[in-house]
Amino acid sequence: MRNKKSQILPSTAKILTEFGENIKLARLRRKLSAEQVAERANISRPTLFSIEKGLPGVAIGSYAQVLFVLNLEKDLLKVAVDDTLGRKLQDAELTVKERAPKK
């Protein structure tokens, strides 16, 4: 079975790259080495480097572990907290299916 390579939009790749850079800056501000963070997050150094580059193939759990080590895990709670489109749909009382239709 062949592994599928993750295809993402350029705008999403840019966001992931910035996210990775922010994680790296947070690590450097805390004066932690890559080895220390990787060990505490229970991931390999290459995985940490992939996170800091914002590569899309890294599991979100690994991102969460690194954020926990950096004491930034609560930042994940800010994702989608201000769902403007969702609130507009809710206010318009439009029916939104829970699942995407089958192709």
101 alpha carbon, distance to own chain's centre: 26
Number of structural domains, the chain?
1
Q: What is the pLDDT of residues 4-53, one digit of tens each?
A: 666 899 999 999 999 999 999 999 999 999 999 999 999 999 999 999 99
Establish if 29 belongs to a structural domain. yes
Establish if 45 belongs to a structural domain. yes
Convert 86-101 to b/e letters by CB count within 10 Å (16 or more is b). Answer: eeeeeeeeeeeeeeee
Establish if 54 belongs to a structural domain. yes
Establish if 90 belongs to a structural domain. no
CATH number of the domain enclosing 37: 1.10.260.40
Q: What is the pLDDT of residues 36-95, one digit of tens each?
A: 999 999 999 999 999 999 999 999 999 999 999 999 999 989 888 888 888 887 788 766
φ, ψ of residue 10 to 5 degrees: the values are -55, -35
Question: What domain range includes position 34?
Answer: 10-74
pLDDT level of residue 96 (50, 70, 90 thresholds):
low
Neighbours of 66 (CB within 10 A): 26
